[in-house]
Amino acid sequence: MKSRERTAVFPHTVAPAYPEERIRTSLGVAYWAESASLMKEQIEDQSVDLIMTSPPFGLVRKKEYGNADASEYLDWFRPFAGQFVRVLKPQGSLVIDIGGAWNAGKPTKSLYQYELLLTLCKEFDFHLAQEFFWWNPSKLPSPAEWVNIRRIRVKDAVNNIFWLSRTPFPKASNRRVLTPYSKSMEGLLESGYRAKKRPSGHEISKKFSTDNGAAIPPNLIAVANTESNSHYLRYCNENDLPIHPARFPALIPEYFVRFLTDRDDLVFDPFAGSCVTGEVSERLGRRWICSEIDEKYLLGAKGRFVSSPSPKQLRFTGTKIESYNVQRPGALWDDNPQAPLPPDGGRSRPKKQ
């Protein structure tokens, strides 16, 4: 297909003819490469334990590093999917962090990430082990036209994270990602929990009052994407290098590397950007391969491996917040006068008041 279109889609990204090594440590390597080719040339069958990645999103408004248009997305993704199937170990996992996209000029959402999920499961025989939602509490309200001006949609603040696997039983243990008990659960454990039926009809057995020391987390991961003072940013600034505009916070890959892999396992990020996945894997003693098509992002990524920041600095870069409050709906419902619903669904812009 479409090599001309592809050039248009990724105007800043010309991969070298053969993968070129740009960063090497005792555990890993980052290549300047186009990832489908890199996999073909460098990665053996059934050798990877975890593919942890955040591909370019099918955003309607293109970002600086280039994004495939939502409708072309599946065609673009298929060659990667075929290689993922080949390189993953039978008990390995594929974790994809992917943001939603708005349809151009309309207050409706593209289905592209769900189409991708269906394609991966139906055409490539992946199992959906579980879907996660990454809630970014620092997300600003957008798109402004629908959310702030016409007030007909709410703020989009979650990304999908699809955890896919080759078998229904990939390697995993939730004991690796436990969280502290909530205050209310601590209270229940202290005062004792009476076995009873819940209003939902579920029987709550005595087992729920056993103090296991920590709670099993939900599939909602709350992490603000507000890195502002990390060793990576400092390295880029000090060396006048471009900062990757769409990094995920290290806690996202760290969660899945801990949850799904053991030490010395191999982690691969085919859309590596600034190599957050590589950095996390290095710190956790996993072998890793990163591949990034845009060389300029690997220049700054080097900074993740030249100095050795403390584990604490790495893990909580940019924020000291350990938990977030989500408001239960309804706190303002009684006091607020009922705003009229626009009769045309917001088709016309409200007049300036």
Ligand X SMILES: C[S@@+](CC[C@H](N)C(=O)[O-])C[C@H]1O[C@@H](n2cnc3c(N)ncnc32)[C@H](O)[C@@H]1O
* Residues catalogued as catalytic: 54-55, 97
CB of 4 to ligand X, least distance (A): 16
Do residues 304 and 310 touch, judged by C-beta distance below 8 A?
no
Looking at the Cβ atoms of 56 and 92, the one nearer to ligand X is 56
How far apart are the C-alpha atoms of 262 and 49, rounded to whole Å?
A: 9
Nearest partner of 144 among 57, 55, 61, 226, judged by Cα? 61
Q: DSSP letter at 348?
A: S
Which chain residues interact with ligand X by CB under 6 A? 13, 34-35, 54-56, 65, 244, 246-248, 270-271, 273-274, 276, 291-294, 297
In single-letter form, the type of residue at position 35 comes to S
How far apart are the C-alpha atoms of 112 and 87, rounded to whole Å?
A: 25
Looking at the Cβ atoms of 31 and 146, the one nearer to ligand X is 31
Looking at the Cβ atoms of 27 and 246, the one nearer to ligand X is 246
Report the 10 Å Cβ neighbour count for 208: 11
In single-letter form, the type of residue at position 25 comes to T
Looking at the Cβ atoms of 158 and 188, the one nearer to ligand X is 158
DSSP letters spanning 200-237: TS-EE-GGGGS--SSBPP-SEEE------S-HHHHHHH
Report the 10 Å Cβ neighbour count for 281: 29
Closest-CB residue for ligand X? 273
Looking at the Cβ atoms of 79 and 107, the one nearer to ligand X is 79
Question: What residues form DSSP beta bridges with 161?
Answer: 97, 132
Do residues 19 and 33 touch, judged by C-beta distance below 8 A?
yes
CB of 82 to ligand X, least distance (A): 13
CB of 329 to ligand X, least distance (A): 31
Do residues 174 and 259 touch, judged by C-beta distance below 8 A?
yes
CB of 10 to ligand X, least distance (A): 6
CB of 66 to ligand X, least distance (A): 7
C-alpha dist (Å) from residue 228 to 178, 233, 272:
27, 7, 20
